[in-house]
Copies of this chain bind each other. A is one copy, B any other.
Amino acid sequence: MEADLYARDCGSRQVLDRIGDRWSVLVVLTLASGTKRYGELAQRIEGVSQKMLTQTLRGLERDGLVTRAAHATVPPRVDYALTALGRSLLDLLSGLESWATTHLGEVEAARARYDTR
């Protein structure tokens, strides 16, 4: 079976959807520097709601990109970390991150030009 990104029902589209997910990228990038607790992620990623963070983490865990380790302590503690698969995605995502920051100015300029004509 061939993986055709352009085909409607190809699973590679779903993979792209996860990458494209707004919070997934930020979560994976945050985990680049090592294991993080739930609260650390929530604090670092500004603007993410509890619901969305949990939902995103579940999705990443389901896709095998992130591991979840719950410790039965009081208070509870849950550690999230990247899997090997998750780390394999890291280079690409940090490339995206640096593209976004370095070309931000050009994009904003283009928008200003577009909006004023």
User: What's the number of copies of this chain in the assembled complex?
Assistant: 2
**Contact A5 B100, CB 8 Å, known A92-B92, A107-B85:** yes
The reply to whether A12 and B92 form a contact with Cβ atoms under 8 Å apart is no
Is A62 located at the chain interface by the 8 A CB criterion? yes
Instruction: Give the size range of A's interface with the partner.
Output: 35 or more
Q: Please indicate the chain B residues that have their CB under 8 angstroms from the CB of A19 in the complex.
A: 20, 96, 99-100
A53 to B86, CA, bound (A): 31
The reply to whether B85 and A110 form a contact with Cβ atoms under 8 Å apart is yes
Is A81 located at the chain interface by the 8 A CB criterion? no
Is A40 located at the chain interface by the 8 A CB criterion? no
Beyond known contacts A11-B104, A15-B104, A92-B99: 14 more, CB 8 A cutoff: A5-B97, A6-B26, A8-B47, A15-B107, A16-B22, A17-B22, A19-B96, A20-B22, A63-B110, A63-B111, A64-B114, A65-B107, A88-B99, A92-B92
